[in-house]
Structure 1
Amino acid sequence: MVQVDLIDIWDQRAAEGWNAYVRAHAGGTPFHLTHWGRAIQGAYGYETPYLRARRGQDIAGVLPLTHVRSALFGKSFISNAFAVYGGPLAEDAEAHAALDAAAWSLAQKAGVPTLEYRNRQRLRPDWPAKAETYVTFRRPLYEREDDNLKAIPRKQRAEVRRSLTFDLETLVDRNVDRHFAVYAESVRNLGTPVFPKRWFAAILDAFGEDADILTVAKDGRPLSSVLSLYFNGEVAPYYGGGVADARTWRANDHMYWKLMLHAAARGCTLFDFGRSKVGTGAAAFKKNWGFEPEPLVYEYRLADGHTMPDLNPLNPKYRLMTEVWSRLPLPVANTFGPLIARGLA
């Protein structure tokens, strides 16, 4: 018989058992770890109910949840918030069903109308789902530099080689201030509110050596920067961007190439280029690197009378907001952006 309980993600013993299960499960991701929940609590103060299914003393499944509360976008339980992947990890259908039931019970008690799982595959055929909005991009990394270069299609390989002709500096560290300055300008230019600086600091604090920042600079000026996560031999460049001049110096091309080499040197064998919206420039950029898109399936259990949320910036409802935001002075965008972004989970 499967029993479900809540763990305290700050309890060392419980967290170690949970994380060992996640790392051993074929569907585990860094967003299933207690690290992610700790970062969310530290940066946003959201509740993070982490549900554990057990048979006796053995873990039979886990489901990390975040209780997102936004005056603009409503309330929801998400697995997992601010993440591209999530959903339950379990041994069998019985454990899956027990976690589903426990999660929906929590949602009902909290008056939350939406339960969202962010999966790479369809898990609940009877739930409403979005399977045509997002894709992810993953492919192998190789030990030898030349093999990684050959894996890049000819046109993009030429851009990488051109970037190497410029006198660009690569910095790998944990400098949040420098990363935030670059990333904030990048997302403002795209018309997107920036997350608070404390969010990036919280991620680095929670993941320790399994997270870092790689920045490309020219004559001492940062041009592009990316915060990456490392998990089970995979590297995930998660928050990355560049200033306007990054294009001139091919700094973004340089950044991702240098990250591939850095990750390979760390022993990574897979590069997870992450989520992009179908039909966007970001998706095309990743395909140019030789990555093939894989559909993501986001599944929802909804209270009566509620529909699937649609916070996609390509939604016509938000298009005018995006255009206006991209023209805001950077200090204004950086002041008000984090207040909005906390609800864009």
Structure 2
Amino acid sequence: MTSCEGAAVSALTVSVSTAPSPDWDDFVRTREASIYLLSNWALLARDVFGHHALFVEARHADGRLAGVLPIVQQKSLLGNFMTSIPFFNYGGALADSREARFALMDRARQIARAARCSYLELRDTDPSSDGWSARTDKVTMILQLPATTDALSKALGSKLRSQIKRADRETIAVRTGGRELLDSFYAVFAQNMRDLGTPVYPKRFFAAILERFSEHATLVVIDHQGVPSAAAFLVIDGARAEIPWASCRAQSKSVGLNMKLYWEVLRHVIERGSTSFDFGRSTMDSGTFKFKKQWGAEPQQLYWHRWERDADPAKAGVAAKESRLMRYATSVWQKLPLGIANALGPLVSPSLPW
């Protein structure tokens, strides 16, 4: 059953529900907004992982939507926190005015406080000046795409082109598709996650995305000597393309399959008519940042606004201890046999603060 409650904010009414209103997705689609603000992404977290999804809406006096904010609560032995939205880089409040935006954010903060969450995180691309603190340690890397792959090849330069062509000396095959490639994608992804020391998502998570967003989701797989060895999951929304997940088996990087994978992905999205490509988030000057930078991508600052129940600076020592514990857990996970990591990962990953 859907639950609703409302509170008047100036000329606006802010309501909270366990299901989106019928005009939610139309509001998102008619604005320059992230695809992840569409209601089905928050519902995905609910239906696949059992998380609590809430839909915060602001309306004008005449009933028209003034703003939307999806939030997902992840509650387990590993913690209790809310995010807009988890598993992806973008979320936050989408509104037609500053007043509506802050009304949505304030209501979300009230919800998180009442639910006794340790924190609320709103994954915005624009800063707030309304007293919210923000994580700014991450950027997303955006490449403006030329009209043709020939133009892209010229822009990349000879060194990068030679690295891409290295893979062509191997016995490789490139496959692009949807659900039929999921097993191949997942085999590469799961091994890569274990190697990184990170619990893997369950395969049903990707299957649900491919089913619910079949017109937006695409898989690219490169086989090396008949074995899936590099793979990418793409989300394409009109002129914007993003690569939320990409993996390459460690033994295949020496023959350039990681470079070949990104080339094939960029070629595919250009042919689909995309004009910008999102390489995903990175920490400035990290290894992944430099890898993306060499393709011509430029950083775009992310502002992940946060409310924390206990923001006491004296707790910094606790945070440092937790960081050491995380590094230890990562090193242990990397040593697990692949079969055990693949069995345990889907049990742990849904509760992590992705």
Pair in the same fold by TM > 0.5:
yes
Q: Secondary structure at the match of 1:300?
A: strand
Could you list the structure 1 runs, at least 4 aligned residues long, displaced by more than 6 angstroms after superposition: 306-312
2:63 maps to 1:53: no
Of 159, 172, 182, the residue aligned with 2:188 is: 182
Of 19, 24, 48, the residue aligned with 1:43 is: 48
2:281 maps to 1:275: yes
The answer for the alignment partner of 1:4 in structure 2 is 14
Query: Residues 4 and 98 of structure 1 are in contact (CA less than 8 Å); yes or no, is this contact kept in structure 2?
Result: yes
**CA deviation after TM superposition for structure 1 residue 164, in Å:** 3.4
Query: Residues 36 and 206 of structure 1 are in contact (CA less than 8 Å); yes or no, is this contact kept in structure 2?
Result: no
Q: Secondary structure at the match of 2:214?
A: helix
Whole-Å Cα distance in 1 between the matches of residues 90 and 289 of structure 2? Answer: 17
**CA deviation after TM superposition for structure 1 residue 203, in Å:** 1.4
**CA deviation after TM superposition for structure 1 residue 8, in Å:** 5.7
Whole-Å Cα distance in 1 between the matches of residues 312 and 339 of structure 2? Answer: 37
**CA deviation after TM superposition for structure 1 residue 337, in Å:** 1.4
- Flag the 1:172–1:7 CA change in 2: closer, same or farther, 3 A: farther
**CA deviation after TM superposition for structure 1 residue 80, in Å:** 0.7
- Flag the 1:325–1:252 CA change in 2: closer, same or farther, 3 A: same
TM-score normalised by L of structure 1: 0.90
Aligned residues: 337
The answer for the alignment partner of 1:112 in structure 2 is 117
How many percent of aligned residue pairs carry the same amino acid?
31
The answer for the alignment partner of 2:83 in structure 1 is 78
The answer for the alignment partner of 1:146 in structure 2 is 150
**CA deviation after TM superposition for structure 1 residue 38, in Å:** 2.5
Q: Secondary structure at the match of 2:114?
A: helix
Q: What value does the CA root-mean-square deviation take over the aligned residues?
A: 2.4
In structure 2, what residue type is equivalent to 1:210? H
| Deviation digits for residues 5-30 of structure 1 (CA, Å, limit 9, x no counterpart) | 24565x7xx35x3223223323x112
Structure 1 segments unaligned to the other structure (5+ residues): none
**CA deviation after TM superposition for structure 1 residue 271, in Å:** 0.5
Whole-Å Cα distance in 2 between the matches of residues 311 and 165 of structure 1? Answer: 48
In structure 2, what residue type is equivalent to 1:287? K
| Deviation digits for residues 109-134 of structure 1 (CA, Å, limit 9, x no counterpart) | 322231111122212452222212x1
Whole-Å Cα distance in 1 between the matches of residues 194 and 297 of structure 2? Answer: 26
Whole-Å Cα distance in 2 between the matches of residues 142 and 237 of structure 1? Answer: 18
**CA deviation after TM superposition for structure 1 residue 151, in Å:** 2.8
Whole-Å Cα distance in 2 between the matches of residues 305 and 245 of structure 1? Answer: 44
Q: Secondary structure at the match of 2:260?
A: helix
The answer for the alignment partner of 1:99 in structure 2 is 104
Higher deviation after alignment, 296-305 or 46-55 = 296-305
In structure 2, what residue type is equivalent to 1:333? A
Whole-Å Cα distance in 2 between the matches of residues 311 and 30 of structure 1? Answer: 33
**CA deviation after TM superposition for structure 1 residue 311, in Å:** 9.4
The answer for the alignment partner of 2:132 in structure 1 is 127
| Deviation digits for residues 47-78 of structure 1 (CA, Å, limit 9, x no counterpart) | 11121211123221111111111312x11110
2:344 maps to 1:336: yes
**CA deviation after TM superposition for structure 1 residue 259, in Å:** 1.1
| Deviation digits for residues 264-303 of structure 1 (CA, Å, limit 9, x no counterpart) | 1211111111112334322221112111222222111122
Q: How does 1:1-345 map to 2 (within 5 A)?
A: 1-6=11-16, 9=19, 14-15=21-22, 17-26=23-32, 28-55=33-60, 56-72=62-78, 74-124=79-129, 126-132=131-137, 134-173=138-177, 174=179, 175-304=181-310, 315-344=323-352, 345=354
